[in-house]
């Protein structure tokens, strides 16, 4: 297929990415805070067992949602960005129809399956460790299933808007509107003294988000289709082959997406089944910080993804390398301070969720997963680079292997080590999921994440945050006083360090203003 556009300057690409990333980071910060608040409300407002039922049911719902999306969260971004880069605006609607309709059908079928299967699940003996509360789990899962088509379609529509290279719909809808409605609804329900409407308050906002997402997509699509089509296209058979090409790329990603969510959610269900809902509540609380860090990663990734697809479509390897290394530096700068502080002050972190959540090996779980996430953060969006480079089958194999490691370790270790066994399985899976594609892109694409931005961000986080945190804990203990003193020293030092190194981190305001003026 002939390319009809010249590659943009690298600075313009970074500038546009930084602008989109900044919006997503603000929204991700809000979403992460709201998510922690939701977890705290459930953990404090319900008993340990009731909270465990809620966390297990919503984990099952999110796993089913990912299955129903069929991998379109990546496929839509990749293909819409690619068609735009090649100026084939006439094919955008065909691409949308070929991907959104299967999502709708799959989500309806999945919802029907859950409605029918949920009561049977409660009587299979899976929740033998806490069989008395299995019927409640089934009731909550059936209610959640009714909203599954809305949730899957909402996410798919927002993915499509990112393919048009606009991050605002995702930031405002997924990271601000829906978390706000969920938090407000749960707060009202719990203040009213109801412990049965918590799931309804959490899932109902999907009905609003799907409408808002649809409006956003129609708006950006109308603007895109008003642009002229490329005059020269070498492959005249593309319209006839588009659907097959779309699903040839997306199908492996669908399986890898399912395994990806399985890495994040299945262990909660395994803990609930093997150890009981109370243990599932403790495990969810102990691992909740990971979601906050992942939101920052996803915010940068959402901005990088469409630009990465366009650059790879043009074959601009130098720009891809710059974008990958700079964005990895941003991820490290955003996430490493969080992981270091949570690891050092794990007891204080757990105490924030209420009495009883510091029991057993919960603090060790936190520290172990913090260490794994430090490694994952330094790899950046390595799986995204591999996927956008067209190696979706490789990515599927990597995630499947990581999922297999997680499942195997969980089945062996959870009965013996409790929630620490689940954390061990997740940590090993995280290492496999990131280090395998890192070796592959290094071998095939000659890419690696360790540019000046990444190395400088890691040094700043370790020196300005890690060292003061460890010193404060040794001198003052792991309680709130030690954390407050560590923050008082680390926060200004880290911000000053980032400001001083803003050029190496790709955060220079002057440079960004120049790049934004040239961005297309």
Summarised one tens digit per residue, pLDDT across range 462-499 is 999 999 999 999 999 888 999 999 999 999 999 999 88
22: which DSSP letter?
Answer: H
pTM given for the model? 0.80
Per-residue pLDDT at 73: 82
**Token pair for 247:** 């699903």
- Residues 42-51: what's their mean pLDDT? 86
Higher-confidence position of 425 and 508? 425
Residue 262 contacts residue 403 (beta carbons within 8 Å): yes
114-167 pLDDT, tens digit each: 998 888 776 665 666 566 777 888 889 999 999 999 999 999 999 999 888 788
- Residues 410-416: what's their mean pLDDT? 93
352-391 pLDDT, tens digit each: 888 778 777 889 999 999 999 999 999 988 888 887 777 7
CA 256 to chain centre: 14
Per-residue pLDDT at 507: 67
pLDDT exceeds 70 at position 18? no
Residue 368 contacts residue 287 (beta carbons within 8 Å): no
- Residues 250-279: what's their mean pLDDT? 82
The string over 17-35, giving b where at least 16 C-beta atoms fall within 10 Å of a residue's C-beta and e elsewhere, is bbbbbbbbbebbbbbbebb
The string over 53-67, giving b where at least 16 C-beta atoms fall within 10 Å of a residue's C-beta and e elsewhere, is bbbbbbbbbbbbbbb
Higher-confidence position of 84 and 106? 106
Whole-number Å distance between alpha carbons of 194 and 398: 44
Per-residue pLDDT at 513: 34
Q: Within 13 Å of residue 209, how many CA atoms lie on the same side as its CB?
A: 32
* pLDDT level of residue 237 (50, 70, 90 thresholds): very low
Per-residue pLDDT at 13: 47
Per-residue pLDDT at 9: 46
418-458 pLDDT, tens digit each: 999 999 999 999 999 999 999 998 888 888 888 888 889 99
């Amino acid at each position: 297929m002939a390319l009809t556009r010249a590659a943009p300057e690298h600075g313009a690409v970074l500038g546009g990415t930084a602008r989109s990333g900044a919006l997503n980071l603000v929204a991700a910060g809000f979403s992460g805070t709201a998510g922690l608040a939701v977890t705290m409300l459930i953990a404090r407002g319900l008993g340990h067992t009731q909270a465990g039922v809620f966390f297990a049911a919503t984990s099952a719902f999110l796993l089913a949602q990912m299955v129903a999306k069929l991998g379109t969260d990546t496929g839509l971004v990749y293909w819409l960005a690619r068609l735009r880069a090649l100026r084939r605006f006439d094919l955008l609607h065909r691409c949308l129809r070929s991907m959104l309709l299967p999502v709708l059908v799959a989500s309806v079928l999945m919802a029907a399956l859950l409605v029918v299967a949920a009561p049977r699940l409660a009587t299979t003996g899976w929740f033998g460790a806490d069989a008395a509360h299995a019927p409640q789990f089934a009731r909550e899962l059936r209610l959640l299933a009714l909203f599954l088509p809305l949730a899957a379609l909402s996410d798919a529509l927002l993915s499509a808007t990112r393919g048009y290279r606009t991050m605002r719909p995702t930031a405002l809808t997924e990271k601000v509107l829906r978390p706000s409605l969920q938090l407000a609804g749960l707060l009202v329900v719990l203040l009213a003294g109801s412990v049965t409407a918590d799931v309804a308050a959490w899932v109902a906002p999907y009905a609003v988000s799907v409408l808002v997402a649809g409006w956003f997509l129609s708006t950006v699509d109308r603007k895109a289709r008003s642009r002229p089509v490329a005059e020269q296209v070498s492959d005249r058979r593309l319209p006839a082959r588009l659907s097959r090409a779309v699903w040839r790329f997306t199908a492996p990603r669908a399986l890898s997406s399912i395994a990806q969510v399985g890495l994040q959610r299945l262990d909660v269900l395994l803990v609930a089944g093997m150890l009981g809902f109370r243990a599932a509540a403790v495990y969810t609380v102990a691992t909740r910080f990971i979601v906050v860090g992942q939101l920052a990663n996803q915010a940068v990734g959402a901005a990088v993804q469409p630009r990465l697809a366009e650059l790879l479509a043009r074959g601009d390897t130098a720009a891809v390398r710059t974008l990958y290394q700079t964005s990895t530096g941003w991820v490290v700068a955003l996430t490493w301070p969080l992981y270091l502080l949570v690891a050092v002050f794990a007891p204080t972190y757990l105490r924030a969720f209420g009495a009883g959540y510091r029991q057993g090996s919960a603090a060790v779980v936190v520290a172990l997963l913090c260490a794994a996430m430090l490694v994952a953060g330094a790899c950046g969006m390595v799986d995204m680079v591999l996927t956008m480079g067209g190696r979706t089958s490789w990515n599927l194999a990597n995630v499947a292997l990581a999922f297999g490691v997680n499942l195997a370790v969980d089945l062996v270790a959870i009965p013996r080590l409790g929630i620490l066994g689940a954390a061990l399985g997740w940590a090993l899976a995280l290492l496999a999921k990131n280090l395998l594609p890192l070796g592959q892109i290094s071998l095939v694409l000659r890419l690696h994440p360790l540019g000046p931005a990444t190395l400088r961000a890691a040094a700043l986080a370790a020196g300005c945050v890690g060292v003061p945190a460890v010193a404060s804990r040794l001198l003052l203990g792991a309680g709130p006083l030690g954390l407050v003193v560590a923050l008082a020293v680390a926060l200004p030092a880290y911000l000053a360090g980032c400001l001083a190194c803003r050029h190496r981190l790709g955060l220079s305001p002057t440079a960004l203003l120049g790049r934004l003026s040239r961005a297309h």
